[in-house]
Amino acid sequence: MKYFLWLLKAAIFFTLFAFALNNQQDATVHFFFGMEWRAPLVLVVLAAFALGLLAGMLVMVPRWWKHRSAARRAEALRVASKPAPEAATAAAPAASVIPPSSAEMPPFHGI
């Protein structure tokens, strides 16, 4: 399996490398107000891909923050509902701690 993954990675690398070698001619990107950018086609494609990744990540940041704060709240509720160590008896195993009910936990959606 390890060798198969290396072969797959090598195939992807050589495919992208061949793409870059075959697309070395200049491309012109026209912006507003008569501005233009001349660069090899492979750089134009790479820049468009990088800008798309950046835009997608920026769109996802508020949702990531929301999920992180929900996870912190859920962890705080879990820690707050845990019994004090002196209240627990030696005979009770640690796995018998009862988690908070679903009414106490905030709604948690997503991955």
Q: What is the pTM of this model?
A: 0.51
97 inside domain: no
User: What residues contact residue 23 under an 8 Å CB cut-off, 6+ apart?
Assistant: 40, 41, 42, 45
Q: How far apart are CA 41 and CA 13, in angstroms?
A: 18
Q: Which domain holds residue 36?
A: 15-79
- Residue 71 covered by a domain: yes
Which has more pLDDT, 59 or 100?
Answer: 59
75-106 pLDDT, tens per residue?
Answer: 888 888 877 666 555 555 555 566 666 666 66
Q: Is residue 85 part of a domain?
A: no
CA atoms within 13 A on the CB side of 23: 15
Count of domains for the chain: 1
